[in-house]
């Protein structure tokens, strides 16, 4: 009997030594990061099933973004969405593509004559990723995550890249996330007064918090509990934009104060966990 008891105690000790608490962490959660890289967009949505990046900042941000992704344990992107071809959204994309495997890259269905766009094309020519120029909406699922990408309802006039922004909406475990790129002007007007369902729990505000005549209408249509603004100390969100958000009184998170990190688990949104 003493021998049996001794064996049991040894087994319990060995189990305790090999116990890894990370194996019991909540795997059914979503992490959302908005990286602080100045007045530019670079966001990451990650669940157990997928790592999705939306935009990649300016050219000088590329190496820093790759480093941040690796620090977070992201060694591969399932999806890279480039909302439009302004330099503060695609500038770092070539570096990300050249340094991390990407399964699929989605871009809007127009072209641009710029140094950053040329650098992006060169990186796309060398990647094994599936590359799609969207001319119509796209919907996909990654496990429990539902991903929808909407094309701009405004024809490209050769001038306003912002109005060509792809809009991304993510649904995961009862919470919704809406990423507006730099949608302004006619595109924003058509979105807020059209048939799109803009309601969301977390809204990535368009155009770095620059005020638009339809900002109030966007807040009324979206009714978010949390708003992310990709701004900077040098170029903060407009005071009129912040005033418009008083309509729904959300938690406001600005990248001018540093990286934004939201964790969502069991229907609860937490900041910085």
Q: How far apart are CA 133 and CA 246, in angstroms?
A: 37
CB–CB of 39/230 below 8 Å?
A: yes
Per the structure, the count of domains in the chain is 1
At residue 95, the pLDDT reads 98
**Does residue 6 lie in a domain region?**
no
Phi, psi of 87 (to 5 degrees): -65, -25
So what's the pLDDT on residue 157? 87
Q: What range does the domain containing 42 cover?
A: 28-267
Calculate ∠ Cα 154-33-64, nearest 5°.
95
22 in a structural domain: no
Q: What is the mean pLDDT of each run of 10 residues along the chain (273 residues)?
A: 45 42 59 97 97 97 97 97 98 98 98 96 97 97 97 91 97 96 98 97 98 97 98 97 95 97 94 80
Nearest Cα neighbor of 260 from 222, 230, 233, 224 is: 230
Q: What is the pLDDT of residue 14?
A: 44
- Look at residue 5 in the predicted model and tell me its pLDDT: 45
- The answer to whether position 99 is within a domain reads yes
Domain for residue 17, yes or no? no
Instruction: Give the pLDDT confidence score for residue 15 in this predicted structure.
Output: 41
Question: What was the pLDDT predicted at 28?
Answer: 76
- Scan for tokens 């429990």, then name that residue: 144
User: Residue 52 is part of a domain; what is its CATH number?
Assistant: 3.60.15.10
> Is residue 103 situated within a structural domain?
yes
19 in a structural domain: no
Q: Is residue 2 part of a domain?
A: no
> What is the Cα–Cα distance from 206 to 218, expressed in whole angstroms?
10
Domain presence at residue 157:
yes
pLDDT number for residue 272: 82
CA 125 to chain centre: 24
């Amino acid at each position: 009997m003493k021998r049996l008891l001794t064996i049991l105690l040894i087994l319990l000790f060995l189990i305790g030594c090999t116990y890894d608490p990370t194996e019991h962490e909540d795997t059914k959660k979503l992490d959302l990061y908005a990286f602080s890289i100045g007045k530019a967009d670079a966001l990451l949505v990650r669940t157990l099933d997928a790592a999705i990046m939306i935009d990649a900042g300016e050219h000088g941000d590329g190496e820093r973004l790759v480093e941040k992704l690796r620090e977070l344990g992201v060694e591969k992107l399932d999806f890279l969405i480039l909302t439009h071809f302004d330099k503060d959204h695609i500038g770092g994309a070539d570096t990300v593509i050249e340094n991390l495997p990407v399964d699929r890259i989605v871009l809007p269905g127009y072209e641009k004559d710029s140094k950053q766009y040329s650098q992006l094309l060169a990186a796309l020519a060398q990647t094994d990723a599936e590359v799609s120029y969207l001319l119509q909406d796209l919907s996909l699922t990654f496990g429990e995550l539902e991903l929808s990408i909407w094309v701009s309802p405004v024809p490209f006039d050769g001038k306003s890249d912002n109005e060509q922004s792809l809009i991304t909406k993510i649904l995961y475990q009862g919470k919704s996330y809406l990423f507006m790129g730099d949608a302004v002007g006619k595109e924003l007007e058509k979105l807020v007064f059209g048939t799109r369902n803009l309601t969301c729990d977390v809204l990535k505000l368009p155009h770095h918090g620059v005020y638009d005549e339809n900002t109030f209408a966007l807040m009324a249509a979206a009714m978010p509990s949390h708003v992310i603004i990709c701004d900077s100390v040098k170029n903060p969100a407009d005071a009129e934009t912040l005033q418009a958000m008083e309509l729904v009184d959300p938690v406001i998170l600005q990248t001018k104060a540093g990286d934004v990190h939201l964790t969502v688990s069991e229907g609860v949104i937490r900041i910085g966990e």
